[in-house]
Amino acid sequence: MTTQHNTKPNPLPAFDAVIVGAGFSGLYMLHKLREAGLSACVYEAGDGVGGVWYWNRYPGARCDSESVYYNYTFSEELYQEWTWSSRYPGQPEILRYLNFVADKFDLRRDIQFRTRVTSAHYDDDERKWRIQTNDGATVMATYFISAVGCLSATNVPKMKGLETFEGQWFHTGNWPHEKVDFHGKRVGVIGTGSSGIQSIPVIAEEALHLTVFQRTAQYSSPAQNHELEEAYVQHAKNRFHEMKQSMRESTAGFPYKRSRVSALEVSEEKRQQVYESAWAQGGLILTSTFNDLLVNEEANETLSAFIRSKIRAVVHDEKTAEMLMPNYFFATKRPILDTRYFETYNRENVTLVNVKADPIVEITPKGVRTEKGEYELDILVFATGYDAMTGPLMKMDIVGKNGEKLKDKWAEGANVKTYLGIANAGFPNMFMITGPESPSVLSNMPVSIEQHVEWIADCIQYIREQGYESIEAVKEAEEAWSKHCWEVASATLFTKAESWYTGANIKDKPVGFPIYLGGVGNYRQICTGIAERGYEGFTFQ
Ligand code: N01
């Protein structure tokens, strides 16, 4: 690992940049900074690259962005060299891809694995970050770059008695490397978000009995996953430049065409045809079938009702089907793609428990006790999600100028405020890749990651060329961005649901909407414009 020592005597190792996390974001950030001639060190808690794809090894884990679009596009050579096997890439394949990237660009030599950043404090005098890791080391860095991802702080709800459970328990986002054997076991899954809905059908096939503890019934549609034909992959490769441009200019980072038609301006028959066709096609396309599904309650209800009818048609037992009926606005919680999820409830070895009607009281040594009974279990799976977006950043003790803690800045009651989701007033030379108030989780992540990494690398280049030492977001610019973010979100139905998007899934977390919904293409233009105008909304020293 190359270190760059200051001219002033300094006993601590010093880097131009410290990057936290070796997932999609951290790997590309390292590559970009190296290209620009900077010394950089990546700290990664896992013992391999991959980020969420390193940790999420639960049964059935698969991405629901189509593989040919879920790629880096900064290198055409890389795009041409890698070939995906299925429409939606499985976790092992994505992990292989990220390892391939790390090897191709020789990234590992600047990554320190099995190391967590515990704190990052800005030294006002030195204008540098003092970064501590869990192995007791301290290093200095001019730039502190968070590449921690949006969904890496797992949420295991505090349930009375968990420590007394005599079986094994796991969280989907922190799954063991060894295969968990469900054969002959009584298994419980708490949670029916994307992770639960992907793992439930797979676990049900193996387990002696599966009990699903559902709090909120969810909309889910078939992924229609399948092996990819060589000709299809080749076609995607041939269209690399066109596809890259289209994704970068799009609303959500995919090269899909979005409808310009309202769901309410077509006949019932036409609407059903459109929904049936999207259903058969599979994937996230359902939300783009009409242009007002996410802003108009009546329009949304047409699609919500369509999905409910699909669930009813699949699930044989009426009582179970009723428990599975979602009643929020479709897609205001993260849309879910599944493979034979609702069919799973027709199996004799699967029981559904509605924990809204029959709440979990405690975990006992033998299993889960609800108000109405006890379910004996050998294995308990928490598919209970994440303290999203701010959670991974808050796990580190980040202290900016004048001793201000990021935790206090984003404290309870005060909505998160950032500038562009990239920077924070009071935290000079700190950058967040896909931070709160950027398009992040409501976009195709690699597209948004690349945009941030490239913007940050250009910004650092600018600072160096101009002979500045630091850059910092201006408070007023941050206020204005946050306000804009909220205005855009509140014109949609997204803010009406209780979801991890809003923070409602985490007890005592301030509820807001820290995702920019103005579209990936617009957002890119805004960020580029700000840079072109000499980094408007930032000050330099
Ligand atoms: O987490 P979630 P996830 N008692 O928060 C329930 C991405 N991802 O890991 O809805 C009982 O969505 C909770 O209930 P409720 C994707 O962006 C992508 O599944 O809050 N239940 C909910 O059912 C996704 O959206 C992929 O009422 C409790 C579930 O647990 C995000 O990660 C795959 C509870 C949590 O669902 C998170 O998905 C996997 C409690 N105390 C993940 N606490 C793909 O690309 C929580 N729940 C396919």
Q: What are phi and psi of 153, to 5 degrees?
A: -100, 100
What local confidence, expressed as pLDDT, does residue 462 receive? 98
**Which backbone phi and psi does 131 adopt, to 5 degrees?**
-115, 130
For residue 502 and ligand 1, the question of a CB distance below 6 A is answered with: no
Place of tokens 């049900």: 204
> Does position 322 have pLDDT exceeding 60, yes or no?
yes
126 Cα–ligand 1 center, Å:
43
**pLDDT by residue (tens digit) across 49-97?**
999 999 999 999 999 999 999 999 999 999 999 999 999 999 999 999 9
Atom 12 of ligand 1 has which residue's CA nearest to it? 193
Ligand 1 contacts CB of residue 383 (under 6 A): yes
Per residue in 292-307, pLDDT (tens digit) is 999 999 999 999 999 9
**Chain position carrying tokens 């977001």:** 473
Looking at 186-190, 406-410, 446-450, which range is the least confident one? 406-410
CA of 362 to the centre of ligand 1 (A): 20
Mean pLDDT in residue range 369-392: 98
Average pLDDT over residues 428-451: 98
pLDDT reading at 8 higher than 80 = no
Quote the percentage of the chain above a pLDDT of 90: 95
Q: How confident is the model at residue 415 (pLDDT cuts 50, 70, 90)?
A: confident
* The pair of three-digit structure tokens given for residue 123, joined into one six-digit string: 């030294």
**Which ligand 1 atom sits nearest the alpha carbon of residue 215?**
27
- pLDDT by residue (tens digit) across 145-183? 999 999 999 999 999 999 999 999 999 999 999 999 999
Does 326 sit in the ligand 1 pocket, CB within 6 Å? no
Whether the per-residue pLDDT at 9 is higher than 90: the answer is: no
Q: Whose CA is closest to atom 5 on ligand 1? A: 385
CB distance 194 to ligand 1 below 6 Å:
yes
Distances (CA, A) of 101 to 43, 71, 95, 144, 302: 17, 10, 10, 23, 43
Residue 502's SS3 state is coil
Is there an atom of ligand 1 within 6 Å of 190 CB?
yes
Q: Is the pLDDT of residue 4 over 80?
A: no
Asked if residue 196 has its Cβ within 6 Å of ligand 1, the reply is yes
Checking if the pLDDT of 133 tops 70, the result is yes
pLDDT at 412 over 70: no
H or E segment to which residue 332 belongs: none
pLDDT score recorded for residue 383: 98
What is the identity of the amino acid at 421? Answer: G
Question: In this predicted structure, what is the pLDDT of residue 278?
Answer: 97
Q: Which atom of ligand 1 is nearest to the CA of 195?
A: 19
478 Cβ below 6 A of ligand 1: no
Dist CA 516 CA 204 (whole Å): 37
CA 333/CA 147 separation, integer angstroms: 24
**Whether residue 151 has its Cβ less than 6 Å from ligand 1:** yes
Stretch 393-405: mean pLDDT, rounded? Answer: 97
| Closest C-alpha to 324, from 311, 340, 339 | 311
Q: Are 67 and 238 in contact (CB under 8 A)?
A: no
- In angstroms, rounded to a whole number, what is the distance separating the alpha carbons of residues 192 and 183? 22
Nearest to 362 by CA among 378, 377, 374: 374
pTM score: 0.96
Higher pLDDT, 263 or 507: 263
Residue 498, burial from CB neighbour count under 10 angstroms (0-12, 13-18, 19+): middle
Q: What pLDDT, on a 0 to 100 scale, did the predictor assign at position 11?
A: 73
Mean pLDDT of 497-508: 94
Ligand 1 site-directed mutation target among 55, 225, 434, 505, most atoms within 8 Å of CB: 505
Dist. CA 101 → ligand 1 center (Å): 29
Please name each of the domains of the chain with its CATH number.
Answer: 14-153+387-538 (3.50.50.60), 157-219+331-385 (3.50.50.60)
331 CA distance to ligand 1 centroid (A)? Answer: 13
Confidence of residue 411 (pLDDT cuts 50, 70, 90): confident
What lies within 8 Å, CB to CB, of 96 at 6+ separation is none
- Out of 158, 353, 384, mutate this one to test ligand 1's pocket (max ligand atoms within 8 Å of CB): namely 384
Average pLDDT over residues 263-287: 96
Task: Give the integer Cα–Cα distance in Å for 166 and 396.
Answer: 32
Q: How confident is the model at residue 319 (pLDDT cuts 50, 70, 90)?
A: very high
Averaged pLDDT for residues 316-345:
97
Ligand 1 pocket, 215 CB below 6 A? yes
Sequence-separated (6 or more) residues with CB below 8 Å from residue 170? 58, 176, 180, 379, 380, 381, 382
| In the predicted structure, residue 444 carries a pLDDT above the cut 70 | yes
**Residue 470 near ligand 1, beta carbon < 6 Å:** no
Q: Does the beta carbon of 191 sit less than 6 angstroms from any atom of ligand 1?
A: yes
Ligand 1 in reach of 339 Cβ (< 6 A): no
- pLDDT at residue 414 greater than cutoff 70: no
pLDDT band of residue 10 (cuts 50, 70, 90) is low
What average pLDDT does range 201-216 have in this prediction?
A: 98
296 closest CA partner among 325, 267, 330: 330
Query: Region 324-344: what's the mean pLDDT?
Result: 97
Residue 1 — very low, low, confident or very high, per pLDDT cuts 50/70/90? Answer: low
User: Could you write out the DSSP letters of every residue in 368-393?
Assistant: EEESS-EEE-SEEEE---B--THHHH
535: Cβ below 6 Å to ligand 1?
A: no
